[in-house]
């Protein structure tokens, strides 16, 4: 923004120098015409050039006298702006507070302007939304991340996590979830799938049963009973699981009764619920879980920083821009909201301005008074000096024309008298 302001000021300085040069060239041209008129004794040209020089010099003096002493000579009533800076500040403050900050004028302007419509139109524009999003991701978010103390955030997450867990009745939640599952057909399907999976796993790991049997039987049996014992255990488990996998089997009914009894106890027994809660809280206090919780913030922070480094491709920036546009569209589609915004500006904000207009006027006045005298002159000349040079140009031309007119009148009067 500073670079853009410097470029703009540089352009204004060049324009001012160009206009000063044009005015000086025109005055120089009048001087040349005056010399020619005297050498060749051309009366009308002499009258024109004399008057042009007088007009050009007089207007140069008037323009320069606004900002500084002409030729550095402290002539009275020159350098008007620097000499009257404080008075200008006071008058400007009074003018703004008395003439602009009036409820009647401001209400009309606000109604005509329709702040809500203009603001929402501005937000909807993709370029503006990206501009605001860019400012947020370039300045606000990195600043917030640098300001936040990582250890404080970790401590906060730990406290919040522990506090929230301690207030949750996990036993009751689990009971409700299991009860809902038990009342649906999904419970039967789930149990059947679990049992069939156990049958498959039993087949795949039959050798583990055999190894366990071998390690448990007496050495003197020479392994003669191992195979029979293994087959007996395997077949017994297989038959049990096979029967249980059928929904109408007695085993399945006992399993369902056990599940329902467990759900009832978990739902109605405070002691059982406490056991479940203690189990969950005990798991949450394990060092591995605590380390994971501590790392959540650093992972989030790193992810944010990595995303912001993508600049225009940042998903955060795109999301913020989309959110801004959606917000603008939401305002436009809600006439009630637009009316509320406009009424807020018209009533609340306007009341603040009106109630503090004296303070605003004093602020303007004190600000102008605090400016450096030379700096004020330079800034004002930079802003309006280029246009003021037309006064010098017009003074030279108009002066010359007036000189010709006076010469013509003089000639007419001389002929008439003679």
Mean pLDDT check: name the lowest of 10-19, 360-369, 394-403: 360-369
Provide the pLDDT confidence category of residue 36 given band limits of 50, 70 and 90: very high
C-alpha neighbours within 13 Å on the C-beta side of residue 350: 19
What pLDDT is attached to residue 200? 82
Give the model's confidence band at 105: pLDDT under 50 very low, under 70 low, under 90 confident, else very high. Answer: confident
Q: Which residues contact 360 (CB under 8 A, 6 or more apart)?
A: 93, 96, 97, 101, 353
State how far the Cα of 17 lies from the Cα of 386, in Å rounded to an integer. 8
Looking at residue 343, its pLDDT comes to 85
Give the tens place of pLDDT for each residue, 304-330.
889 888 888 889 999 999 999 999 999
- Tens of pLDDT along 108-157? 877 778 888 888 999 999 999 999 999 898 888 888 888 888 888 777 87
- Enclosing H/E stretch for 52: helix 43-67
Q: Which two tokens stand for residue 86?
A: 């404080």
As a whole-number percent, the residues of the chain with pLDDT over 90 amount to 20
- pLDDT exceeds 90 at position 162: no
Q: Which of 2-6, 192-196, 266-270 has the lowest mean pLDDT?
A: 2-6
Averaged pLDDT score across all residues of the chain: 82
What per-residue confidence (pLDDT) applies to 51?
A: 94
> pLDDT at residue 178 above 60?
yes
pLDDT band at 220 (very low <50, low <70, confident <90, very high): very low
- Biggest CA–CA distance in the chain, Å, is 167
Residue 408, helix vs strand vs coil: helix
Least confident of 168-182, 295-309, 367-381, 395-409: 168-182
Task: Look at residue 291 in the predicted model and tell me its pLDDT.
Answer: 77
Q: Comparing 232 with 42, which gets the higher pLDDT?
A: 42
Residue 79's region, left for phi above 0, alpha for psi from -120 to 50, else beta, is left
CA–CA separation, 59 and 392 (whole Å)? 5
pLDDT average, residue stretch 352-360: 81
Q: How confident is the model at residue 280 (pLDDT cuts 50, 70, 90)?
A: confident
Buried b (16+ CB within 10 A) or exposed e, 204-222: eebeebbeebeeebeeeee
- Rounded CA gap, 187 and 177, in Å? 11
71: left (phi over 0), alpha (psi -120 to 50) or beta: left
- What share of the chain has pLDDT > 70, as a percent? 93
């Amino acid at each position: 923004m500073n670079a853009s302001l410097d470029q703009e000021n540089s352009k204004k300085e060049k324009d001012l120098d160009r206009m000063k040069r044009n005015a000086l060239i025109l005055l120089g041209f009048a001087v040349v015409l005056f010399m020619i008129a005297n050498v060749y004794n051309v009366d009308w040209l002499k009258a024109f050039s004399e008057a042009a020089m007088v007009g050009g010099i007089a207007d140069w003096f008037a323009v320069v006298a606004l900002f500084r002493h002409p030729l550095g000579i402290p002539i009275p009533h020159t350098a008007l702006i620097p000499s009257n800076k404080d008075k200008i500040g006071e008058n400007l403050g009074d003018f703004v507070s008395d003439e602009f900050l009036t409820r009647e004028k401001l209400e009309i302007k606000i109604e005509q302007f329709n702040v809500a419509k203009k603001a929402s139109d501005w937000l909807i524009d993709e370029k503006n939304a990206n501009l605001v999003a860019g400012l947020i991701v370039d300045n606000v978010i990195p600043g917030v991340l640098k300001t936040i103390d990582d250890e404080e955030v970790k401590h906060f997450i730990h406290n919040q996590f522990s506090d929230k867990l301690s207030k949750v009745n996990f036993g009751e939640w689990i009971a409700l979830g299991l009860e809902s599952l038990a009342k649906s057909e999904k419970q039967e399907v789930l149990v059947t799938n679990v049992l069939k999976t156990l049958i498959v796993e039993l087949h795949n790991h039959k050798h583990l049963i055999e190894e366990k049997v071998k390690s448990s039987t007496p050495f003197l049996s020479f392994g003669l009973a191992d195979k029979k014992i293994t087959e007996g255990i395997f077949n017994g488990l297989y038959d049990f699981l096979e029967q249980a996998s059928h929904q109408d089997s007695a085993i399945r009914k006992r399993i369902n009764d056990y599940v329902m009894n467990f759900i009832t106890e978990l739902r109605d027994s405070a002691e059982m619920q406490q056991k479940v809660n203690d189990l969950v809280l005990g798991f949450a206090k394990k060092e591995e879980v605590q380390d994971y919780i501590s790392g959540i913030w650093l992972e989030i922070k790193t992810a944010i920083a990595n995303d912001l480094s993508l600049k225009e491709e940042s998903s955060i920036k795109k999301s913020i821009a989309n959110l801004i546009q959606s917000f603008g569209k939401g305002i436009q589609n809600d006439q009630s909201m637009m009316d509320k915004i406009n009424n807020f500006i018209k009533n609340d904000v306007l009341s603040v301005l009106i109630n503090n207009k004296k303070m605003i006027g004093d602020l303007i006045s004190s600000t102008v008074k605090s400016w450096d005298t030379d700096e004020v002159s330079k800034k004002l000349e930079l802003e309006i000096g280029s246009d003021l040079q037309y006064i010098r140009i017009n003074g030279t031309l108009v002066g010359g024309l007036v000189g010709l007119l006076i010469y013509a009148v003089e000639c007419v009067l001389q002929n008439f008298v003679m």
